[in-house]
Amino acid sequence: MSTVVLWIFVPFGVSILLALFHRFTSFTRWAAAGVALALSVAAALVNFGGLILVGGRAYEISTSFSVLGRQLVLGSSDRFFLILVYGLGAFWFLGAPAAGTHRLFAPLGLSIISILVASLAVEPFLYAAPLVEIAVLVSIPMLVAVGKPAGQGVLRYLIFMTLGMPFMLLGGWALNAIELDPASESLLLEAMFLLGLGLAFWLAMFPFYTWVPLLTKESHPYIAGFLFSLLPTVVFFLMLNYLDTFAFLRNSATFFQGLRLAGTIMVATAGIWAAFQRDLTRLFGYIVIQETGYSLLAISLHSQTGLELFAAGLIPRLIALGLFALALSVMQRHNVSMNFEEEKLAFQQTPIATFASLVAIFSISGLPLLAGFPVRQPLLEELGADSVAAVTWALIGSAGLMYGGLRYMAALFRQAPKSIRSEEGFYQIGLLSAGIVILVIAGVFPSPIITIAMNILQAFANLF
Amino acid sequence: MGFGIACTVIDIAFAKRWQMNEPVLSWLPVGMIILSTLILLISQSWRWSIVAFAIQYIAMFWMISWEWPLGLAAVKLVTGWMAGAVLGISQPGAALAETGFTRISGGGFKLITAALIWVLAFAVAPSLQDLFPAAHAYLLGAVILIGMGLLQLGMSHQPLRVVLGLFTTLSGFELLYAAVDRSVLVAGLISGVNLVLALVGAFLLVNPEPEETL
């Protein structure tokens, strides 16, 4: 028995079985959620590299698996990542019945998670690029509405994510070449340029982020939310792996300056576009861009504190994105318009969903007493100590997003609601209410979530 | 495939006989790449596009065989042809019709931009020899593939053109990567990526109507 078999091959095999039975949509959703939850709990309980007792017999859980002369390794340091990523899967699959997703969402979603786990397990991890690309390709069928042509957002997503793969592969080769010739300045610049470009494509960094609002507008918001919570998380882990492994990269001031510049531009531009946005689904896209920008800013601090702020921001960000995506899906299911000008009846029809979307927007923009604030405030403080220009633009970005949220609230209550007749189901109300409560509790009592999130950093022993 | 292998064998034989750095007939695959990528860019017929796609992979196989063992290089050819076959059998009919261009002016514009890419490739390829240990013609072929693929991606809205553009760009990068790494695992994974990309392309072309859910 191996951790690789348990957390990569088993879920992948289950996803294939679920794909065969995709017509039984309800069954596949609950089964995928059950498997993801079981794997998340197992990751917390199982002793990696130790023995487990099954039916009176002891089995050794090895942490590596050999494929074509290379190793897939999932050790104790990956435990929290497994808990997070399969917990994330369970969280999204449990919400799928309320969101009314594509019938392929659960099977393909589970296979995407297992492929992305494989991308982080492969050693040397430079081979992760093709696996991430396969995960992206597998996601395409669930992004396209059944029986309809693919829109520009999906095609651009396919193009930009695919273009990232060769840059990451070539960047990985250049990094290996530097190990053999550490004095080569040109190789170092080449490696940073290639890796930077690859990461820019994969994380939808400036200027390669135009497809994000297009995709959130034309695809199912819940599926887009699933991808935007999972893919950047894994790519950030890959980036931290690169930094952890290659000393010259983590000691390079140029690399971190590049991250800061990209992060600042993303936070500022996304906030400014969000301030003038009239479509809630496109606003979701700008929120995703701004969140990625803030994560880049945290890492760009080039310090232990910056890394801790990145980790601390992970869980509130994922919960807020999940809540917003679910709220949008519930509104779409009840034919509520996503356009601000036509929102007059939104609050009457779906009061909990509209309220949840407001809470998610304000949490992400860093409003006090919500989950985003305890992380955003120290991040801006640290950033301000380093660069006044960067923190000014970041504040403009956050203010822009908050203004966008206020405009949405004004659109909702342009006319006083005469009577509220909620069309939301019990399950939808339950999930949305849970999300709102968690964001408020995490805002008032942030310590437990931040303490849990710090475990992520165990995998990166050499960083700072 | 037979033609490609024959050319490769002749190529290797001539190269060994005269101990030249640049393989003999090395400009022939570059010519094939220029021609096939131009057809992919301009053609309004999916049949011609698939034929050009197949020729592009013969040229790519020919070039990779200068760097890799013949058996491993053949993986690229087989994968490319399988991808072409998958895309070929998924045609709904008018998959290449562009709405933004008229046939003559659009073709002329594309030809001029393609010529700019060729000029750029001829200018850039020699400088790449400092980074990638490969023949001049090899790098020229790679840069032309990347450039023409990006041009195709920038000009197209049709799923088939986008997928063919992605294949062309990836082929160029695969040539560059093959010059520096011979890993069987990466070759296998990239072949897997190409096949899944072909299946995604087929899905985008035929995107089926919903089945009844239970």
User: What pLDDT shows up at residue A204?
Assistant: 93
Strand, coil or helix: A463: coil
- Give the Cβ contact number of residue A58 at 10 Å: 9
**Is the distance from CB of A226 to CB of A325 less than 8 angstroms?**
yes
By the CB < 8 Å criterion, does B155 face chain A? Answer: no
By the CB < 8 Å criterion, does A147 face chain B? Answer: yes
Q: Is B214 within 8 Å of A23 when comparing Cβ atoms?
A: yes
Of A24, A133, A155, which is closest to B162 when you measure between CB atoms? A155
Q: What DSSP designation does B213 have?
A: P
pLDDT of residue B18 exceeding 50, the answer is no
Average pLDDT over every residue of B132-141: 89
Of A67, A127, A149, which is closest to B186 when you measure between CB atoms? A127
pLDDT of residue B95 exceeding 70, the answer is no
User: What pLDDT shows up at residue A323?
Assistant: 95
By the CB < 8 Å criterion, does B131 face chain A? Answer: yes
By the CB < 8 Å criterion, does B169 face chain A? Answer: yes
Q: Is B196 within 8 Å of A166 when comparing Cβ atoms?
A: no
In whole angstroms, give the CA distance from residue A243 to residue B186. Answer: 22
Cis peptide preceding A232, ω within 30 of 0: no
Same domain, A292 and A419: yes
Same domain, A218 and A364: yes
Q: Is residue A157 part of a domain?
A: no
Q: For B186, name the nearest residue in chain A, comparing CA atoms only.
A: A127
Q: Is A190 within 8 Å of B170 when comparing Cβ atoms?
A: no
Q: Is residue A200 part of a domain?
A: no
Same domain, A218 and A348: yes
Lowest mean pLDDT across A48-57, A123-132, B79-88, B116-125? A48-57
**Testing the interface with B: which of A139, A173, A188 to mutate, by most B Cβ within 10 A?**
A173
Q: Is the dihedral of CA B16, B17, B20, B25 positive or negative?
A: negative
In whole angstroms, give the CA distance from residue B162 to residue A155. Answer: 7
Q: Is residue A167 part of a domain?
A: no
Model confidence over A118-159: pLDDT tens digits? 999 988 777 899 999 999 999 999 998 877 888 899 999 999
By the CB < 8 Å criterion, does A141 face chain B? Answer: yes
What is the residue type of A268?
Answer: A
- Higher pLDDT: A137 or B102? It is A137
Same domain, A347 and A210: yes
Q: What DSSP designation does A271 have?
A: H
Chain B residues in contact with A103 by the CB 8 A cut-off are: 210-211, 213
By the CB < 8 Å criterion, does A261 face chain B? Answer: no
User: What pLDDT shows up at residue B92?
Assistant: 66
- Return the C-alpha torsion angle B89, B94, B95, B96, nearest 10: 120
In sequence order, what are the residues at sequence separation of 6 or more whose Cβ sits closer than 8 angstroms to the Cβ of residue A81? A117, A120, A237, A456, A459
In whole angstroms, give the CA distance from residue B162 to residue B56. Answer: 16
Same domain, A326 and A447: yes
Name the minimum distance, in Å, from the CA of B133 to any CA of chain A.
Answer: 13
By the CB < 8 Å criterion, does B132 face chain A? Answer: no
Of A130, A152, A159, which is closest to B153 when you measure between CB atoms? A159
By the CB < 8 Å criterion, does B181 face chain A? Answer: yes
Chain B residues in contact with A144 by the CB 8 A cut-off are: 203-204, 207
Average pLDDT over every residue of B26-54: 91
Name the minimum distance, in Å, from the CA of A429 to any CA of chain B.
Answer: 24
Q: Is B173 within 8 Å of A147 when comparing Cβ atoms?
A: no
pLDDT of residue B214 exceeding 80, the answer is no
Q: What angle do CA A324, A326, A327 make, to 5 degrees?
A: 65
Lowest mean pLDDT across A44-58, A145-159, B171-185, B199-213? B199-213
Name the minimum distance, in Å, from the CA of A68 to any CA of chain B.
Answer: 6
- Return the C-alpha torsion angle B117, B186, A11, A104, nearest 10: 20
Chain B residues in contact with A186 by the CB 8 A cut-off are: 130
Q: Is residue A186 part of a domain?
A: no
Which domain range does residue A333 map to? 205-463
By the CB < 8 Å criterion, does B204 face chain A? Answer: yes
pLDDT of residue B26 exceeding 90, the answer is no
Same domain, A319 and A459: yes
Alpha-carbon distance values, A285 to A74, A102, A449 (Å): 33, 20, 25
Q: What DSSP designation does A61 have?
A: -
By the CB < 8 Å criterion, does B194 face chain A? Answer: no
Alpha-carbon distance values, B189 to A129, A130, A152, A169 (Å): 9, 6, 27, 12
Last residue of a domain, one of A123, A150, A168: A123
What are residue A344's phi and psi, to 5 degrees?
-55, -40
**Is the distance from CB of B192 to CB of A130 less than 8 angstroms?**
yes
Last residue of a domain, one of A97, A123, A149: A123
Last residue of a domain, one of A123, A140, A169: A123
Same domain, A119 and A218: no
Same domain, A109 and A220: no
pLDDT band at B93 (very low <50, low <70, confident <90, very high): low
User: What pLDDT shows up at residue A69?
Assistant: 75
- Number of domains within chain A: 2
Same domain, A117 and A258: no
Q: Is A130 within 8 Å of B186 when comparing Cβ atoms?
A: yes
Q: Is residue A293 part of a domain?
A: yes
Q: Is A155 within 8 Å of B159 when comparing Cβ atoms?
A: yes
**Is the distance from CB of A125 to CB of A117 less than 8 angstroms?**
no
In sequence order, what are the residues at sequence separation of 6 or more whose Cβ sits closer than 8 angstroms to the Cβ of residue A73? A4, A63, A64, A65, A121, A123
Q: Is residue A459 part of a domain?
A: yes
Which ranges of chain A have pLDDT less than 50?
none
Q: Is residue A343 part of a domain?
A: yes
**Is the distance from CB of A409 to CB of A401 less than 8 angstroms?**
no
Residue with tokens 């009457």: A348
In sequence order, what are the residues at sequence separation of 6 or more whose Cβ sits closer than 8 angstroms to the Cβ of residue A399? A271, A275, A365
Q: Is B170 within 8 Å of A166 when comparing Cβ atoms?
A: yes
In whole angstroms, give the CA distance from residue A126 to residue B186. Answer: 10
Same domain, A216 and A84: no
User: What pLDDT shows up at residue B16?
Assistant: 45
In whole angstroms, give the CA distance from residue A371 to residue A360. Answer: 9
**Helices A221-245, A211-218: inter-axial angle, 10-degree rounding:** 150
Chain B residues in contact with A177 by the CB 8 A cut-off are: 180
Alpha-carbon distance values, B123 to B35, B119, B120, B144, B172 (Å): 19, 6, 5, 11, 16
Q: Is residue A285 part of a domain?
A: yes
Largest CA distance in chain A: 73
What is the residue type of A220?
Answer: H
Ramachandran bin of A49, using left for φ above 0, alpha for ψ from -120 to 50, beta for the remaining angles: left
In whole angstroms, give the CA distance from residue B156 to residue B165. Answer: 9
Average pLDDT over every residue of B167-172: 95
Same domain, A216 and A71: no
User: What pLDDT shows up at residue B13?
Assistant: 45
By the CB < 8 Å criterion, does A19 face chain B? Answer: no
Q: Is B197 within 8 Å of A137 when comparing Cβ atoms?
A: yes
Residue with tokens 């059998």: B89
- Give the DSSP H/E element, type plus range, for residue A59: strand A57-60
Q: Is the dihedral of CA B15, B20, B21, B27 positive or negative?
A: negative
Same domain, A97 and A217: no
By the CB < 8 Å criterion, does A103 face chain B? Answer: yes
Record the pTM: 0.91
Q: Is A130 within 8 Å of B192 when comparing Cβ atoms?
A: yes
Interface of B with A in 11-30 (CB under 8 A): none
